[in-house]
Structure 1
Amino acid sequence: MELTLNTQDTLLLDSAQQYLGKYMDAKHFREIRDDGDHYPKRYSPEHLAEIAKLGWIGIDIDEEYGGTGPYFKGLCLLAQQMGRYLSPTVLLSSGLLGVSAINILGTQRQKRTMLPRIAQGQLKVAFAIEESERHLKSDITTRLCRTNNSYRLQGKKTFVIDAIGADIVFVVCRDDNKNLFIVIINSTQDGVSITPLSMIDNRNYGNLSVDATISKENLLGEGIVLQKALEQILDRARIAIASEMLGAAQHLLETTLSYLKLRKQFGVNIGSFQALQHRCARMYSSLEMSQAALLAAIDTIEKRKSSSDIATLASLVKTKANDTLELISNEAIQMHGGIGMTDELDLGFYLKRAKMQVALFGDSIFHRIRYGKITLGD
């Protein structure tokens, strides 16, 4: 991405590297992991308030609603650096999923009510879509029933990102006619239960159980319009998570190369071994191709190209990011040898995070099938 950065991009990137590298790096991530009682939300409220002041949470929100955007490329640059440093924030949940849903589907009243508070870090949003271990809309069974002048929402969600500490949750559901809806619920209202979900990467996940009454004003979208909008929201998330993944991959590659230049066997640096050089070349090539795909995907969003073009490149870049991060994280562990498996090094954090990121919003099998269907017109 460095070859195409303009002045605005460079300033944002420098700011992100300075702040995240100093305050929200792997050392901070380790502190959160080791002191879960002090960080029940898996992030620091103080740092969240600071990055909100920097304008990062509202980077894809129009200035009219208190944001500093829209600037999707900037959001991806931030996600890339957060992946590099393992920085725990609510950028993906609130700044992307929540903001995208409101921007695409929200009424003027909803935008004016929620977007400024999200930008200021005062309103934290979780987006609940998954109901099984697979990422498929056909698995959505959470039910929305009309009852007189209100609605009743019943169902369960799993793997809800940043669920713990969220103020509101956007719940994807269906009515009796199988039409899709997004319903806004308050995380503390009667009939709503959110429980922590402990996963290997120590990210903030939760399970949601809901059996609550919902007013019409809490509907964000419905029917055919929502079905198209939901794919737009998820495609933006797929591109952003790919950015985060490639930031982690870049860091792992640099760390591994540095180690190969220092570690000696048989009196020479192991980086001089041709077999390892070939493996490093493969990692580098895979990373460069993935970054090229990422830039193309970001470009489709920035230039507001057709939903088909966006979907095609979103699936392409998520697949490339999945394969690249799996390759580089596995190779990083292997090339470090036994020490790579110890808790002393941060490599294990990245490997565990990679295993979860690959599954988020669709694994490579899901996206290869989706890519084929889109390109073949199925």
Structure 2
Amino acid sequence: MSAAPRIVVGVSGGVDSSVAAWRLVQQGEAVAGLFMQNWADDGSGDCRAEDDRRDAVAVCGRLGIPFHFRDFSSEYWQGVFEHFLAEYAAGRTPNPDVLCNREVKFKHFLDAARELGAERIATGHYARVAHAGGRWRLLRGVDTGKDQSYFLHQLGQAQLAATLFPIGDLHKPDLRRLAREAGLQTHAKKDSTGICFIGERDFREFLGRYLPAKAGEIRDPHGVRIAEHPGVFYFTLGQREGLNIGGVRGRAAAPWYVVGKDVANNVLYVDQDRESPWLMSTTLRSETAHWIAGAPPARRFDCTAQTRYRQPDEPCTVEVRDDGCVDVRFARPQRAVTPGQSLVLYDGDECLGGAVIAHTDAPQAQASPFQIQATEVSAR
């Protein structure tokens, strides 16, 4: 019987996890690979899990390490996908990657690795872990264009203590070069993008299987009917594509942007100004915040924040409420801060934690009917 691995690497069949495993093998670690199936094949032919699994098997074979498989599709459905559907049904825009990391990759995967006798897990995330000042810290990846700390902000001390990010110090071109030189067949494989369980298929068609569409009116912020939409929950704030608004009599030939959603009345609101005042906010309130250190740095502090992935750092002031939620005020107005998405807080390269955005002071977030707020915005 072979000895238990010291580290189990989450091998996804992509180049990032392939190089993560290769680097650990090069360091002389006792390594095994584990492929997680998080989505059951729905018969559409769009799921790439089997192709990814074959690539993961090939990489483990190339590296001479054991390969393991676990089906977490049931756990994913209950811990991630049901929440995803509920959020869209409520008119919010969720971020399933954040929940997947918390509920599957750093929970069920970690448990599975320990059942195999491992001390730690490793993944191909572009992030870093450091231990300083008596605690574990989550740091951004060196490649700022690929940094994934945003999606990892729900991790805690116990998870970080058991986790390695072997590629966090690499830039993507260097990583692909290493993969090529190591003879890993994934070296030129295209990066996966978008929501993992949707893949390359049409988002509306997929969501329509679970949330029946209901057509409704598209209006401008003053309540004037502009067109018709196929389902209000298909759209998110700031969105331009997919509105299918043709020429509107009396209106400029300019793009339209989603600036608000009234789910109860099935109305979508749009404006032709990308920087529409209806999209701008300076404050937000979150749901209960998670702190990587176990507690916030202070009841009130200054830091930077991202309200969407790959957004430039935005200076802000954070105030922690008695109920565990946070109030955030930005130094400058923010565009399309979206309820359901994640607010992630940073002190330089260190990720402090974050929370789901509950609501903002943007006019689109105010009480219905939407157009009642028009006079308030114009007076600001």
Same fold (TM over 0.5): no
* Higher strand fraction (1 or 2): 2
With the length of structure 2 as denominator, give the TM-score of the two structures: 0.26
Larger Rg: 2
